[in-house]
Amino acid sequence: MEHNIKDNPLAESVILISKFRDAEETSFVLNRENAPWLTKILDNIKNEFEPDSVPEGTENIEIELTLKRDSNSTFGEYLYLEGVARGGYQATCVKCLVDTPLTFEKEFKGAYVNKRYEDDPEYEEVDEIFINNETADLFFHDRGKADLVDIVTEACFLGTTRYPLHDEDCKGLCHTCGIDLNTETCKH
């Protein structure tokens, strides 16, 4: 079910998990219109890939997610989320240095548990927990306040490539004279 910005309880990234009904799943489709905080994530992606320019229409982001507040005997009250992060971004081809539009798509599952576990030595090295019958990435809420930027940013970045190419068969630049071997040839 889609919500407009007036009644979207995720219009801001920090949510009070007590606002969600116990053990009841709610689904959302977030975009920059109904959740303006997603713009910051696109800006972070741009800072990571540093394209020379971003043509209009290249950048987009859409987050489908289902969330549920629940509790169990191990963690107490928690927020469970799963969904898909999709979007478009501009990156510089690592071989020929030409900017190219790319897309990302990444499924995610995560749970926000009480922040006190963050300082618990038992959870120091833990970044996934078994909760809600799923293996979920571990995040923390602070006295019931969960910042969804954490899980959504992680999903978006995991969906982007570490090795952007404008084309799978990019020939790159000549190491000697620097010409673009995709469009020109040289004697080297």
3-state helix, strand, coil in the chain (%, to 5): 20, 40, 45
Does 93 participate in binding Zn ion (rule CB under 5 A)?
yes
Closest to Zn ion by CB, 125 vs 169, is 169
Closest to Zn ion by CB, 35 vs 96, is 96
* C-alpha to C-alpha distances, 4 to 10, 57, 60, 66, 149, nearest whole angstrom: 10, 22, 18, 16, 19
Determine the size of the site formed for Zn ion (CB under 5 A).
Answer: 10
Provide the mask over 150-169, with x wherever binding to Zn ion is found by CB under 5 A and - wherever it is not. ----------------x---
Q: Which amino acid is at 175?
A: H
DSSP string, 86-124: EEEEEEE-TTT--EEEEEEEEEEEEEEEEGGGGG-GGGT
Give the helix ranges, DSSP H, for the chain: 38-49, 149-159
Residue 152's Cα: distance from chain center in Å?
4
Does 143 participate in binding Zn ion (rule CB under 5 A)?
no
Nearest approach, Cβ of residue 101 and Zn ion (Å):
13
Does 184 participate in binding Zn ion (rule CB under 5 A)?
no
Does 14 participate in binding Zn ion (rule CB under 5 A)?
no
Closest to Zn ion by CB, 37 vs 49, is 49
Question: Stretches 42-50, 67-75, 113-121, 180-188: which one binds Zn ion (CB under 5 A)?
Answer: 180-188
Q: Which of 47, 73, 176, 185 binds Zn ion (CB under 5 A)?
A: 176
Binding site for Zn ion (CB under 5 A): 93, 95-96, 166, 170, 174, 176-177, 186, 188
